Amino acid sequence: MNDLRLPRGVLALSQRTHVMGIVNVTPDSFSDGGLYHDERAAIDHGLRLADEGADVLDIGGESTRPGAEPVAEDEEIRRTAPVVEALAAKTGLAVSIDTTKAAVARAALDAGAQIVNDVAAGRADPDLLPLVAQRGAAVVLMHMQGTPRTMQQDPSYTDVVTDVRDFLAERAAAAQAAGIGRDMIVIDPGIGFGKTTAHNLALLNRLDAICALGHPVLVGTSRKSFIGAVLDGLPVSERIEGTAATVALAIARGSRFVRVHDVGAMVRVARMCDAVLNG
């Protein structure tokens, strides 16, 4: 497992699992109902996640839930840049901007972000990967079939693990060709993004095939619908145990980077998994 180099430090993923806490500055998030779309509320929430042990704070201003509509880039910047600036300054943690747009990423990097988390893996905006390279930032490249508006209509694969692995290998190569260092690239299989429940379970069960690509693997299962589907229709508010199980399994299969809402609980899960795996 390789460490992740950042503009101002290193995430020592080879030593322990790191936890990325989610800060949605959106009115229509699937997971929190837009509780933190107000700037002050979002900052306070990020500070709480930092206190709970988050290693990275991921700030997003555009919902990527199934069926979500796009947000104009100026609105996305308005939502996210002040939150990025405040949390980077107040916590000292690495801050990530969750966006597909180069203009939004640029504003966030100007405000202190060190990671660009792109659910489109650089395909939605041709300027994004060159910008990341120019600014010396790290990048997360995620697999998504379709777009948030269409991704759950009829997801289909020849073999989901092979297809996702090959896509991520190609996008990591594209990022390197754009000038991003290999040690600044994270890959994400995109659990819940254009996948059925069966696809998500297969990706988790065979996550070691994705990890074998040699890049740090970020896994985001937190509160997602496949957990509710497996657990007899549990609502979002009752999926913490299911999330914990998937986080533990992802770590056991080789991930050392997880993206979650319930930071305090998942930090404890990660610490316990690391203790077992490190003997």
Q: List active site positions.
A: 224, 259
The Cα–Cα gap between 194 and 153 comes to 8
The Cα–Cα gap between 187 and 59 comes to 18
Q: Are 77 and 99 in contact (CB under 8 A)?
A: no
Q: Are 103 and 75 in contact (CB under 8 A)?
A: no
Instruction: Give 216: exposed, middle or buried? Use CB within 10 Å, 0-12, 13-18, 19+.
Output: buried
Strand, helix or coil at 4? strand
The Cα–Cα gap between 183 and 133 comes to 12
Handedness of CA 95, 96, 99, 103 (dihedral sign): positive
Helices (H), the chain: 39-51, 73-91, 102-111, 128-135, 160-177, 197-205, 207-211, 225-230, 240-252, 263-277
